[in-house]
Amino acid sequence: MIISKSFHHGWYYWFRYEKDKLTDHPMEQYSNNLLSYFSSIDACPHEHFCQEPRASKLKAPRYYVNRVRHPISKFTACGKKLYQERYSSNHSRVEMFLLENDRATVAVEVPVWLEEDETINAGFSSPLTGHIDVLRLTDKIEVWDYKPNAEKERYASTQVYWYMYMLSKRLGLAKDDFRCGYFDEDVCYFVDL
């Protein structure tokens, strides 16, 4: 069962998660944590999402990335083609195709943020926020961002690193519990953590 919630964070984001995939997942230490987070997401500090900085706008040096072959790229190509009639943007097509057809994808457009004290410790003067395009659960929690023309991206690794960092703070988990990267229908990159 897909649970949907809309948030006005500068514009409308449709946070969605597949509850059954999490309830039945063998990695209970992660799935229970995510279910708890998702059930309390309505209480996120919505006001922070309407101001800068946003992780998607950070122009910091590129983290080291590894180009890999990954099924997420094939899912992306299928979603763009098969969901043309259902959704108006490639982002929505890709996200929803993954959520509905990839057993590892458990959520899309997941809001993440840093609290005031975490912001200062991370080197920002005001709260950092973002929305994770695709959250997958395998042997780790995977944070993914769909980037058309991923091969030409200069700052996507910085963006997904901070998404992972913010989610690790919200869940109280270590960096070793995560994997992150970005992708399109042709290429996929893991970010070295």
| Nearest CA among 50, 51, 17, 48 for reference residue 34 | 17
Give the per-residue pLDDT at 11.
80
Q: Is the pLDDT of residue 149 over 90?
A: yes
For the chain, percent of residues with pLDDT exceeding 70: 100
Average pLDDT over residues 44-69: 89
DSSP the chain: -EEEEEEESSSEEEEEEEHHHHHT-S-HHHHHHHHHHHHTGGGS-GGGGGSS-BGGG--PPPPPEEEE--HHHHHHHHHHHHTTTT-SSHHHHHHHHHHHH-TTEEEEEEEEE--HHHHHHTT-SS--EEEEEEEEESSSEEEEEE-TTGGG-SSHHHHHHHHHHHHHHHHT--GGGEEEEEE-SS-EEEEP-
Residues 142 and 136 sit within 8 Å (Cβ to Cβ): yes
The pLDDT of residue 96 is: 97
Report which residue type is found at 155. Answer: Y
Question: What whole-number percentage of the chain has pLDDT above 90?
Answer: 84
Structure tokens belonging to residue 184 = 């399109």
pLDDT band at 123 (very low <50, low <70, confident <90, very high): confident
Per-residue pLDDT tens over the stretch 15-42:
999 999 999 899 999 999 999 999 999 9
Please name the residues in contact with 152: beta carbons below 8 A apart, sequence gap of 6 or more: none
Average confidence (pLDDT) over 8-20: 92
Backbone phi, then psi, for 187, in 5-degree steps? -135, 160
Give the tens place of pLDDT for each residue, 97-106: 999 999 999 9
75-98 pLDDT, tens digit per residue, is: 999 999 999 999 999 999 999 999
Task: Identify which of 158, 150, 110, 148 has the alpha carbon closest to the alpha carbon of residue 132.
Answer: 110
What's the pTM value of the predicted model, to 2 decimals? 0.95
Indicate whether 150 pLDDT > 90: yes
Alpha-carbon distances of 43 from 19, 39, 163, rounded to whole Å: 19, 9, 18
What pLDDT score does 63 carry?
Answer: 80
pLDDT higher than 90, residue 61? no
